Chains A and B, each alone.
Chain A
């Protein structure tokens, strides 16, 4: 089945230690998104790619970076995680003309100790 895969499902990192979360898709969608979701809150868009065009949200901290080496893969890098970065990180994909129909991965739950 075509799907969005996120690895790892659970990630524990230390305060200030860089961490990378990965997302892959077999849907061949040209748009990929990264969301941050804290407990009992709405998913918050961090950035998204149209193909290789990177679109950063204005309020996304500089601590968060992303890479998309090809259509299938997208990475979220947190350069110096703080305690406030503990959250669920969701990757999603869509076709550009139907951006509202997004396909989500199961998420990576990040714990910062």
Chain B
């Protein structure tokens, strides 16, 4: 069975500072990993995905993530955050039967 663990429920950060949101996964099969973002009162939106190939993947809005097989991690990073990045971020793993399993989310709170 596949699962993901998001280690931080909330991450406060000042605007223009770098940020890392942590995600660890567990999977017994080939790993497909994703980050989704949920802005207040909206649905989820795909931020980036890792299917195969380069372990560093770039997504929308300047975010990137690195797949690390030895550490079973897929941490999300951004070198300089903006107020508009305030949102809930969900790590997800593709499981069997074409389903996604989401983590519990990390709330990124960007302040001035």
Contact = CB atoms under 8 A, between A and B. Distances in A.
Interface of A: 4, 31, 40-43, 45, 48, 55, 90, 92, 96, 99-102, 104-107
> Range of interface residues on chain B?
20 to 34
Given A42-B105, A100-B49, A106-B42, 19 more contacts: A40-B105, A41-B104, A41-B105, A42-B102, A42-B104, A45-B100, A48-B99, A90-B43, A90-B44, A92-B44, A99-B99, A100-B34, A100-B94, A100-B100, A102-B44, A102-B46, A102-B100, A104-B44, A107-B43
A70 B28 CA distance: 36
Contacts of A104: 42-45
Contacts of A43: 44, 90, 102
Contact of A106 (B9, B34, B43, B49): B43
A111 to B, nearest CB: 15
A48 B100 CA distance: 12
B97 interface: yes
Contacts of B99: 45, 48, 99
15 contacts: A40-B104, A40-B105, A42-B103, A42-B104, A90-B44, A92-B43, A92-B44, A96-B98, A99-B100, A100-B34, A100-B92, A102-B44, A104-B43, A104-B45, A107-B43
A11 to B, nearest CB: 14
3 residue pairs, one from A and one from B, having the closest CB atoms:
A104-B43, A42-B102, A99-B98
A31 B44 CA distance: 16
A100 to B, nearest CB: 5
A90 B100 CA distance: 14
